[in-house]
């Protein structure tokens, strides 16, 4: 275990409206990643809050089966659904559906940079239409009694940093928390997130602000909090293959001690739990395709924890196998090879 120098600026818990989070470390909503099985594992292992994959509001309102899977929250003590869209009526209706299915918080996506989302004028495209963004918040807040939160980026590009203005207007519209990714849409995921730029948002509002972007190590968390002045942190890609990482970051912030990564056997067990859950959630044929990237990320995480690189061929075999049986056999062979290399 390691100890950082100096105090760690963190709240032991965090309130979102009338909902109290057990700690200020959140698992970010990630399409194709934060399925309900992954979220259940991350929550069990200590994440303060976990957020669903982004759900298209119109599709959820129309009871689309895939949208309902994305919004699934069975087995979670605290269920948060993130909605995307640009039609206030659909946002309101989808929020009602989400709450009717158990959501305790509804989050609005105003930060997704994906071309498909932005092409439909949703996600971070709303950073160019602040009046519409506020109407979406107004409609969602009016539709449900649970807290409504907003996730955004700094702006569309470096010439239009609108996050502080949107934050003030979102708070006035009734939003109870904001999450800010420290990049513009134009940056996608290039370069480094600018945590200090988030400070302009935290100083502009009274509601909690969560900082997001590039948190991949324990030391990143206090640095992000200090630079941003935020009340908490959100972990996205840093949790891929590591559902245990948000809980460990929360422990680090609370104690100043960096926990060791789970053992190889424990990481294998978590991966198998997730794999089996995906087959149950999506069915065998679709589930095996959804699970491939997760096996790859798990092998990367195990490799990092034992200090040796994963052989590309071993990783590829696990990720391209056509059946669950073949995939898991290849996964086990890759783990065995990692352990053998680490012990050599």
Report the catalytic residues: 112
Q: Backbone phi, then psi, for 54, in 5-degree steps?
A: -60, 130
- The pair of structure tokens assigned to 275 is 């794999």
The answer to whether residues 127 and 169 touch, using CB atoms and an 8 Å cutoff, is no
**DSSP collapsed to 3 states, the chain:** CCCCCCCCCCCCCEEECCEEECCCEEECCCCCCCCHHHHHHHHHCCCCEEEEEEEEHHHHHCCCHHHHHHCCCCCCCCCEEEEECCCHHHHHHHHHHHHHCCCCEEEEEECCCCHHHHHCCCHHHHHHCHHHHHHHHHHHHHHCCCCEEEEEECECCCCCECHHHHHHHHHHHCCCEEEEECCCHHHCCCCCCCHHHHHHHHCCCCCCEEEECCCCCCCHHHHHHHHHCCCEEEECHHHCCCCCHHHHHHHHHHHCCCCCCCCHHHHHHHHHHHHHHHHHHHCHHHHHHHHHHHHHHHHHHHHHHHCCCCCHHHHHHHHHCCCHHHHHHHHHHHHHHHHHHHHC
What is the C-alpha to C-alpha distance for residues 96 and 39, in angstroms, rounded to an integer? 22
The answer to whether residues 290 and 35 touch, using CB atoms and an 8 Å cutoff, is yes
CA 196-218-109 angle, 5° bins: 55
Strands 80-84 and 25-27: unpaired
């Amino acid at each position: 275990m390691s100890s950082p120098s100096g105090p760690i600026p963190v709240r032991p818990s965090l309130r979102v409206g009338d909902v109290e989070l057990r700690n200020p470390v959140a698992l970010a909503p990630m399409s194709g990643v934060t399925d309900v099985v992954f979220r259940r594992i991350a929550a069990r292992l200590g994440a303060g809050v976990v957020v669903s994959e982004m759900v298209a509001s119109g599709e959820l309102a129309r009871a689309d089966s895939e949208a309902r899977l994305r919004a699934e929250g069975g087995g979670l003590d605290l269920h948060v659904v993130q909605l995307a869209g640009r039609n206030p009526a659909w946002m309101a209706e989808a929020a009602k559906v989400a709450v009717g299915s158990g959501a305790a918080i509804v989050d609005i996506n105003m930060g997704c940079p994906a071309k498909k989302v932005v092409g439909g004028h949703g996600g971070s495209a709303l950073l160019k239409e602040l009046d519409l963004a506020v109407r979406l918040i107004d409609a969602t807040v009016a539709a449900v009694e649970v807290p409504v939160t907003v996730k955004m980026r700094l702006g569309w590009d470096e010439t239009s940093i609108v996050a502080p203005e949107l934050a003030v207007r979102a708070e006035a519209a009734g939003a109870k928390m904001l999450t800010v990714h420290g990049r513009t849409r134009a940056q996608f995921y290039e370069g480094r997130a600018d945590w200090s730029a988030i400070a302009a948002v935290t100083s502009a509002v009274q509601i909690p602000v969560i900082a997001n972007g590039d948190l991949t190590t324990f030391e990143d968390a206090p640095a992000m909090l200090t630079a941003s002045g935020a009340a908490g942190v959100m972990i996205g890609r840093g949790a891929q293959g590591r559902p245990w990482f948000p809980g460990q970051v929360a422990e680090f912030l609370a104690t100043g001690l960096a926990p060791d990564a789970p053992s190889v056997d424990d990481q294998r067990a978590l991966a198998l739990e997730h794999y089996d859950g995906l087959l149950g959630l999506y069915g065998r044929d679709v589930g095996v395709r959804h699970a491939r990237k997760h096996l790859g990320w798990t092998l990367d995480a195990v490799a990092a924890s034992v200090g040796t690189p994963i052989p590309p061929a071993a990783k590829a075999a696990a990720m391209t196998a056509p059946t669950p049986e073949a995939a898991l056999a290849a996964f086990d062979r890759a783990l065995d090879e990692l352990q053998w290399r680490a012990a050599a």
